[in-house]
Amino acid sequence: MSDVSYRVRHATLYRYGQSVSLSHHLAHLLPRNTPTQWVSAYRLDITPPPAGRREEVDYFGNPFVYFSYETPHGEMTVETELQVTVAERPVVEPETTPDWRVLATQLQNPPAAAIEASEFRFNSALIATGPAFADFARASFPPNRPVLAGGIDLMNRIHGEFTFDATATDIATPLDEVMRERRGVCQDFAHLFIAAVRSLGLSARYVSGYIRTAPPPGQPRLQGADASHAWASLYCGETGWVDLDPTNNLIVGQDHVTLAWGRDFDDVSPLRGVLTGGSHQSLKVAVDMEPLAAPDQAPVPAQPAFFS
């Protein structure tokens, strides 16, 4: 399969019931380059123009933008337009990956090549390991099973046993409640997958990004389109990381664009901030991701914002 290029637009609008007098924001809205993804062009427009703005790279290697306001404003729009090319990922045969118990033992005292991966074994702000998650995972990870085979089975089970429901949860919903109610969104299912495998001593990270809005002809529309998407990435030893999308029950490929990865959503929230004032704020988000005719096609000119 040849490379696929996308034009992605992501617009976020905040309206405030009371003017914001001072605010500071972090935006993880610029995609990172990876061995199978590269960014050829991007723009990030902020309205009204902030007092200060700078681009940096965080601990995990993700680009982000910091910006701040020092004058009153009643609304704020952040809009990105990106051109990203995604190559076909190498096919990994699950049976060629190591026994999950051997890998979990190795990660307790990792070799130099696995030290970075071992950091994703531990609890994080939104994901706490525990016996309930370990019990849930064990059905997919019996003794002697290759780690990727177990990960794919766990992904299948989450997809089959949980219902996608955009109204069931929010960012503050505990993962225990997601387990109990068996409902949630892509963020919840990624967190659940990660909690389960970390509870067995394995490493997994949270990935934020986008998924193709319009599927290829004859294929069903994917959950999470027209919004930011999220999935999990499982460490498979010398094979490296393999991305799994439990919301759609598939191994991540060219329909996905990666923005950032971290321990959980808290590390890579698309847009967050601290502000003074701004009571009764409302939020609107719109995402559009469309294939381009050719990998070298330039981004279309800037268009009016999604919102009026």
3-state secondary structure 250-307: EECCCCEEEEEEECCHHHHCCEEEEEEECCCCEEEEEEEEEECCCCCCCCCCCCCCCC
Task: Flag whether pLDDT at 308 surpasses 70.
Answer: no
Over range 41-51, report the average pLDDT: 96
**pLDDT at res. 304:** 41
> Which comes out higher in pLDDT, residue 221 or 145?
145
- For residue 171, what pLDDT band results from cuts at 50, 70 and 90? confident
Q: What is the dihedral of CA 72, 75, 76, 77, to 10 degrees?
A: -150
Both tokens of 3, joined, read: 């490379």
- For residue 294, what pLDDT band results from cuts at 50, 70 and 90? low
Task: Flag whether pLDDT at 217 surpasses 80.
Answer: no
Domains in the chain: ranges and CATH: 4-87+269-291 (2.60.40.2250), 94-252 (3.10.620.30)
**pLDDT at res. 172:** 87
Task: Flag whether pLDDT at 252 surpasses 70.
Answer: yes
Beta-sheet pairing, 282-291 with 271-277: unpaired
Rounded Cα distance, 188 and 178, in Å = 7
Residue 244 φ then ψ, to 5°: -130, 135
Rounded Cα distance, 229 and 166, in Å = 12
Rounded Cα distance, 270 and 30, in Å = 9
Task: Flag whether pLDDT at 165 surpasses 50.
Answer: yes
Task: Flag whether pLDDT at 93 surpasses 50.
Answer: yes
Cis? peptide before 48, omega within 30° of 0: yes
Rounded Cα distance, 274 and 271, in Å = 11
Over range 148-154, report the average pLDDT: 98
Task: Flag whether pLDDT at 114 surpasses 50.
Answer: yes
What Rg value do the Cα atoms of the chain yield, rounded? Answer: 20
Task: Flag whether pLDDT at 69 surpasses 50.
Answer: yes
Over pLDDT 90: what percentage of the chain?
Answer: 83
Q: What is the pTM of this model?
A: 0.91
Please give the angle made by the CA atoms of 252, 7 and 13, to the nearest 5 degrees: 100
Q: Integer distance in angstroms from the first to the last C-alpha of the chain? A: 40
**pLDDT at res. 221:** 66
Over range 236-253, report the average pLDDT: 96
Task: Flag whether pLDDT at 178 surpasses 60.
Answer: yes
Mean pLDDT for the chain overall = 92
Rounded Cα distance, 3 and 121, in Å = 33
- For residue 257, what pLDDT band results from cuts at 50, 70 and 90? very high
**pLDDT at res. 1:** 65
Residue 270's closest CA among 209, 189, 213, 192?
A: 209
